[in-house]
Amino acid sequence: PKVTYIEHDGRRFEVDLPEGWSLMQGALLNGVTGIEGECGGSCGCATCHLYVDEAFVDRLPEIAEAEDEMLDCTVAEREANSRLGCQIKMTADLDGLVVRLPEEQS
């Protein structure tokens, strides 16, 4: 499934991620610099913060408690469409997903 990452400076990365990969993994392996993923995806750092395009917000799995707590620790302001990239796994249903990255992660 395809996902488009839009960096804070406007650069766009359109990549095809295998199903089951997280948005954080996909960013790191495709040179998207707006995601750090310091904790390796264990929901412990909040450096994979991203903003999900409104059209997709309702299609994502609900925010679990651990993610919710971490989202309160992001460097860039938390918005209604904020999520952690490591907690969102690609599925066929998310094909075409667009996410925007904050100016800074740490």
Residues forming the site for ligand FES (CB under 6 A): 24, 37-39, 41, 43-48, 70, 84, 86
Terminal Cα-to-Cα distance of the chain (whole angstroms): 29
- 10 vs 72, beta carbon nearer ligand FES: 72
Q: Which residue is nearest to ligand FES (CB)?
A: 86
Contact 27, 85 (CB under 8 A): yes
Tell me the three state secondary structure of residue 80: coil
Work out how close the CB of 48 gets to ligand FES at its nearest, in angstroms, rounded to a whole number: 4
- 94 vs 105, beta carbon nearer ligand FES: 105
d(CA 11, CA 28): 15
- 10 vs 70, beta carbon nearer ligand FES: 70
Contact 68, 62 (CB under 8 A): no
Work out how close the CB of 32 gets to ligand FES at its nearest, in angstroms, rounded to a whole number: 13
Work out how close the CB of 6 gets to ligand FES at its nearest, in angstroms, rounded to a whole number: 19
Q: Is 27 exposed, middle or buried (0-12, 13-18, 19+ CB in 10 A)?
A: buried
Work out how close the CB of 14 gets to ligand FES at its nearest, in angstroms, rounded to a whole number: 22
